[in-house]
Amino acid sequence: MANITQSMLDAIEQELQRQVARLDQPRTKSFHEMLTYHMGWTGEGAGPLATGKRIRPLITLLCTLSSFNDRENKEEVIAINWLHAKSAAAAVELIHNFSLVHDDIQDNSTLRRGRETAWVKWGAPMAINVGDALFVIANQAVLDLIDHYPADMVVKTASILNDCCLDLTRGQFLDMSYEERNDLSIEDYWPMIGGKTSALLSACTHIGSLLGYANEEKQEAYRLFGYHLGLAFQVQDDILGIWGDEALIGKSAASDLVEGKNSLPVLFALGKNGGFANRWKEGPITVEDVGPVSAMLEDEGAKEYAEKMSEAETQKALGYLKQADPQGEAGEELLRLANMLLTRKQ
Amino acid sequence: MANITQSMLDAIEQELQRQVARLDQPRTKSFHEMLTYHMGWTGEGAGPLATGKRIRPLITLLCTLSSFNDRENKEEVIAINWLHAKSAAAAVELIHNFSLVHDDIQDNSTLRRGRETAWVKWGAPMAINVGDALFVIANQAVLDLIDHYPADMVVKTASILNDCCLDLTRGQFLDMSYEERNDLSIEDYWPMIGGKTSALLSACTHIGSLLGYANEEKQEAYRLFGYHLGLAFQVQDDILGIWGDEALIGKSAASDLVEGKNSLPVLFALGKNGGFANRWKEGPITVEDVGPVSAMLEDEGAKEYAEKMSEAETQKALGYLKQADPQGEAGEELLRLANMLLTRKQ
């Protein structure tokens, strides 16, 4: 890992803790602890595995620095450095975590990064409030940019982030509404995943480049890089969720098939109305069924289709990244990170 | 009702519908309908009773206009009129409604303004998302001010609103955490109610006067007017919840005592550790107990204390309003509205 990446990760963690500390007051100590537990800093199992990788804020800051390096007139904005964008980086991570806390309630998920979820520990009513607080703090963090940026850029950043949040709620609505539907096809996949996964990643790359003073054209390239990175990442996640080692061999209960997830391979095959579609409509896939049902999916072309889509989105993402032309060590790190995300096996 | 008040209420309703229409898109029609149902515009029982009174946005716009009237140099800001602040007024109402939707899930409330709550109609997972969307749209609405105000004023407004939202989550946390505690006293009341009720009302009057270009000193007077108006209103609500006609005579099930609410009279008497405190700790108050238990509360001085507090907060609120010195027809309406809220009997 390059020095710059480690410096950024340290700054991100520090800024996140500073933002969340808004609740660290006499009467709300235990409320504050609920947030620090979810963020991975306190309680049983606290540590690097519990915090997650902070990919989103890291991408944000790398986009800021690699855009800033791009400017010819660096002197003009000499007072700007990537640290000035750290509260926006914290904001995207807080948004991500707000959505995780509410998702876990909505999906009835008991574990998150190997630890009990907030609603399991404190009940759904408290967990709803924990998610709400993370969301509010994210909005406050964005406004902290005013210490280093002109007000119109702060408004623009807040606007990008809130538009993304509305997309998150749209994606979440579609995901939940699909549970009751019997007529799904591949057409229903992209709007859902565009909201649930790509919206936030494209907000990260867009905001990052904006705060690095990239011009409009470059901002658009960064934004589209993030958008397609999100789609490629999600499709790959869907493939691994059915044919990854853990899903197939390790513990089949981890298979997306058992969880009934409306992933890309599943929606592709549902649209085909063949053997898989009939089996899916019959009821939940048991752990014993995982082997034969995933083979059925593969036979009907779902795996091949998903791999083709993942490859196509990956190429789009890398194409836009090339167009954005990120500069310096941060640019190299951004490319390395994108390649790592797009070629992971688990 | 004065003409200006009716004009404002019309503008508020129109602006709210315009803001919520962000979700009125092909794939999210039924998501949009969940929001319009909660807002009181569609579905069974839709209409004025279902929308609520829109007190908060009305107060916001009255503060804007009554501040604007106060300026000597009106020519300087001639392009400003109260309509320019309408998206901020919509924002405070959307924040209020976001908190209602989540409160109803948290409190397990099945009815709101005489209609089934969102979670009863669509389940808690969908209702959490409805609340989240209302919150996002509130934030987007604030940023719409950029069409009429300088960016630094937009950032300031968003900042006031988000600080208030964090107070809302704090108040909600305290309220929920009190359910498990046996050592409550009057000391625990004000921080809870400061967050749950006063924070938003003080944000309304603060934001309203800011957008009416009031100076800092006047803004502070408006803010404190809203804050104490909120406290007075809530204490009065607590008194009516135990000794109001509906609570005592009409249908005792509506009594706050049956709901186990930690209201001011209850916390006062718990701090006394007398007969009421013993009865309260024994378990839920039944409908049959409402008469004797409320009499016990009155004997222990809880009603007198609450009335004294309500009167004290009312005087503070009216004192700050006088200091704010709201001008013109809007100023008169503001005073009329405050008096109406502070002298209501139900």
Task: State pLDDT tens for residues B128-186.
Answer: 999 999 999 999 999 999 999 999 999 999 999 999 999 999 999 999 999 888 788 89
Which chain A residue is nearest to residue B104, measuring alpha carbons? A125
The pLDDT > 70 percentage for chain B reads: 93
Q: Give the tokens for residue B305.
A: 């204390």
Q: What is the ipTM of this complex?
A: 0.95
Q: Give the tokens for residue A328.
A: 């310096």
Q: What rounded mean pLDDT belongs to chain B?
A: 92
Give chain B positions within 8 Å (CB) of A200.
none
A132 contacts B176? CB cut-off 8 A = no
pLDDT tens per residue, range B262-299: 999 999 999 999 999 999 989 889 888 888 999 999 99
- φ, ψ at A26 (rounded to 5°): -40, -50
Answer yes or no: is pLDDT of B235 > 80: yes
CA distance A340 to chain B (A): 32
**Which residues are registered as beta bridge partners of B112?**
B115
Can you give the pLDDT at residue A79? 45
Can you give the pLDDT at residue A302? 96
Using CA atoms, how far apart are residues A223 and A234, in angstroms rounded to an integer?
17
Can you give the pLDDT at residue A62? 97
Can you give the pLDDT at residue B13? 98
A159 contacts B22? CB cut-off 8 A = no
**Which residues are registered as beta bridge partners of A115?**
A112
**A172 CB near a chain B CB, below 8 Å?**
yes
Report yes or no: B216 and B236 within 8 Å, Cβ to Cβ.
Answer: no
Using CA atoms, how far apart are residues B106 and A200, in angstroms rounded to an integer?
28
pLDDT-derived band at B1, boundaries 50, 70, 90: low
pLDDT tens per residue, range B11-24: 999 999 999 999 99
Residue B158, classified by CB atoms within 10 Å of its CB into exposed (0-12), middle (13-18) or buried (19+), is buried
Per-residue pLDDT of chain A (346 residues; tens, 9 = 90+): 678 999 999 999 999 999 999 999 999 999 999 999 999 999 999 999 999 999 999 999 999 999 986 666 555 554 458 999 999 999 999 999 999 999 999 999 999 999 999 999 999 999 999 999 999 999 999 999 999 999 999 999 999 999 999 999 999 999 999 988 878 889 999 999 999 999 999 999 999 999 999 999 999 999 999 999 999 999 999 999 999 877 665 556 668 898 889 999 999 999 999 999 999 989 889 888 888 999 999 999 999 999 999 999 999 999 999 999 999 999 999 999 999 888 876 5
Select the CATH number that applies to the domain covering B3-342 from these four: 1.20.120.420, 2.130.10.10, 1.10.600.10, 3.40.50.620.
1.10.600.10
CA distance A31 to chain B (A): 7
Using CA atoms, how far apart are residues A142 and A146, in angstroms rounded to an integer?
8
**B21 CB near a chain A CB, below 8 Å?**
no
Give chain B positions within 8 Å (CB) of A203.
none
Answer yes or no: is pLDDT of B75 > 70: no
**Where are chain A's structural domains?**
3-342
Answer yes or no: is pLDDT of B78 > 70: no
Report yes or no: B120 and B51 within 8 Å, Cβ to Cβ.
Answer: no
B173 contacts A129? CB cut-off 8 A = yes
**A31 CB near a chain B CB, below 8 Å?**
yes
Nearest to A136 by CA among A50, A23, A42, A27: A23
Give chain A positions within 8 Å (CB) of B174.
27-28
**A76 CB near a chain B CB, below 8 Å?**
no
pLDDT-derived band at B79, boundaries 50, 70, 90: very low
Q: Give the tokens for residue B44.
A: 């069974």
Give chain B positions within 8 Å (CB) of A179.
none
Can you give the pLDDT at residue B259? 86
B139 contacts A176? CB cut-off 8 A = no
**A158 CB near a chain B CB, below 8 Å?**
yes
Using CA atoms, how far apart are residues B56 and A19, in angstroms rounded to an integer?
29
Residues 189..248 of A with a Cβ closer than 8 Å to B: which? Answer: 191
A136 contacts B162? CB cut-off 8 A = yes
pTM attached to this predicted model? 0.95
What per-residue string of b and e applies to A28-50 under the rule 16 or more CB within 10 Å gives b? beebbbbbbbbbbbeeeeeeeeb
Can you give the pLDDT at residue B270? 92
pLDDT tens per residue, range B156-169: 999 999 999 999 99
Give chain A positions within 8 Å (CB) of B164.
none
CA distance B267 to chain A (A): 17
H/E stretch holding A83:
none
- φ, ψ at B70 (rounded to 5°): -75, -20
Nearest to B71 by CA among B339, B326, B329: B326
Give chain B positions within 8 Å (CB) of A22.
166
Using CA atoms, how far apart are residues A297 and A200, in angstroms rounded to an integer?
30
B30 contacts A177? CB cut-off 8 A = yes
Give chain B positions within 8 Å (CB) of A23.
166, 170
**A136 CB near a chain B CB, below 8 Å?**
yes
The pLDDT > 90 percentage for chain B reads: 82
**Strand runs labelled E in chain A:** 111-112, 115-116
Which chain B residue is nearest to residue A27, measuring alpha carbons? B174
User: How big is the A-B interface in CB pairs under 8 Å?
Assistant: 137
**B178 CB near a chain A CB, below 8 Å?**
no
CA distance A331 to chain B (A): 31
Q: Give the tokens for residue A91.
A: 């904001």
- Which residue among B27, B124, B151 places its CB closest to the CB of A151? B151
